[in-house]
Amino acid sequence: MLETERVEKSFGSIKVIKEVGLYLKQGEAVGLLGPNGAGKSTLIDMLSSLSKPTKGQVLFNGKPVFSQLSSFRNRIGVVPQELALYMELTAEENLMFFGKAYQLKGAKLKQKVDQLLNQVELNDRRKDKVSTFSGGMKRRLNLAVALIHDPDYLILDEPTVGIDPHSRRYLLDLIKKLQVEDNKTVLYTSHYMEEVEFLCDRLYVLDRGSIIAAGTQEEIKHIVNQGSTYHLMVESSSQELELALTAHDKIERFIQQDDGYRIVSYSNDLFEDLIQLASEANVRVQGIRVQEPTLEDVFLHLTGRSLRD
């Protein structure tokens, strides 16, 4: 088990991680969800022993990671947010290089490199320089590099940023397979709630350096289940309607979306009120739908802000 014990991290006088306690049991997939700047990368750096907490500690199987650094680093693979690849080397040379850093060599290393290139579907590009790869191909190779020493724990920091939908789908399916079939423990960081919903059994919601919710997806969604989430589709946005939504006592929060508003309410019966508010504001309603709460709603409910603020 990998866990943090009330860890804190400050840069100068600014505390960016505040008393965070989280754990990762072997074999499970855990999501760490939070908007930009919440502190996800800072937390991951501490969890993967790349930086030391200012306070508290990170434990692996009950002992501080810094007391077992080399054996700990052999057990974890980290996929950083920034690509950690040599652009002037080929895909194969990158994997060989990182494999040697873990003391792999000879036939064993070659076999692992072949297996990983197949797994991330880059075998036909193995002899090409990484600088010629698309964003998605680089991300796939970045994942392969993290797996070169066959770690049991895989820590991924927003691995799908800036990639095409095909590569994104491919990476998500591969990560799921690594967890389910190869029994890897996964910590997956993202500000895309749908990715975390697809991959993770349990999750933590991080906001401004603190964990503001934790539990299974069901438990977390239950937080907003007392009411409902409405999707109000309108022809155009209206300041008058927004003022009326803000003033309405049964509406807890709302955010504007491309085609209307997403509204979190304590009430299960808001249809008529919404139609009336829209009509008073001279806004044409195209439709109203009640939606299952998503993690986005949970975040909106807890913080009043959108996940992608």
Ligand X SMILES: Nc1ncnc2c1ncn2[C@@H]1O[C@H](COP(=O)(O)OP(=O)(O)OP(=O)(O)O)[C@@H](O)[C@H]1O
Nearer to ligand X, 7 or 234 (CB): 7
Per CB under 6 A, 53 contacts ligand X: no
DSSP-assigned letters across all residues of 8-46: EEEETTEEEEEEE--EE-TT-EEEEE--TTSSHHHHHHH
Residues 1-20 close enough to bind ligand X by CB under 6 A: 11, 16
Query: Which residue of 4, 29, 42, 72 would you call a contact of ligand X, by CB under 6 A?
Result: 42
Phi, psi dihedrals of residue 9, rounded to the nearest 5° = -140, 130
Task: Please report how close the Cβ of residue 193 comes to ligand X at its closest, in angstroms.
Answer: 13
Residues 76-95 close enough to bind ligand X by CB under 6 A: 81
Each residue 159-198 as x (binds ligand X by CB under 6 A) or -, in order, gives: --------------------------------x-------
Give CA–CA dist 283/252, Å, rounded: 21
Q: Are 286 and 236 in contact (CB under 8 A)?
A: no
Task: Please report how close the Cβ of residue 34 comes to ligand X at its closest, in angstroms.
Answer: 5
Q: Are 275 and 232 in contact (CB under 8 A)?
A: no
Query: Which residue of 2, 31, 33, 39 would you call a contact of ligand X, by CB under 6 A?
Result: 39
Residues 6+ apart with CB under 8 A from 78: 44, 48, 50, 146, 155, 156, 157
Stretch that binds ligand X, among 19-27, 33-41, 131-139, 277-285 (CB under 6 A): 33-41
Per CB under 6 A, 40 contacts ligand X: yes
Per CB under 6 A, 262 contacts ligand X: no
Vertex 197 angle, CA 192 and 203, to 5°: 90
Q: Are 141 and 122 in contact (CB under 8 A)?
A: yes
Stretch that binds ligand X, among 29-37, 101-109, 127-135, 138-146 (CB under 6 A): 29-37
Nearer to ligand X, 39 or 227 (CB): 39
Binding site residues, ligand X, CB under 6 A: 11, 16, 34, 36-42, 81, 191
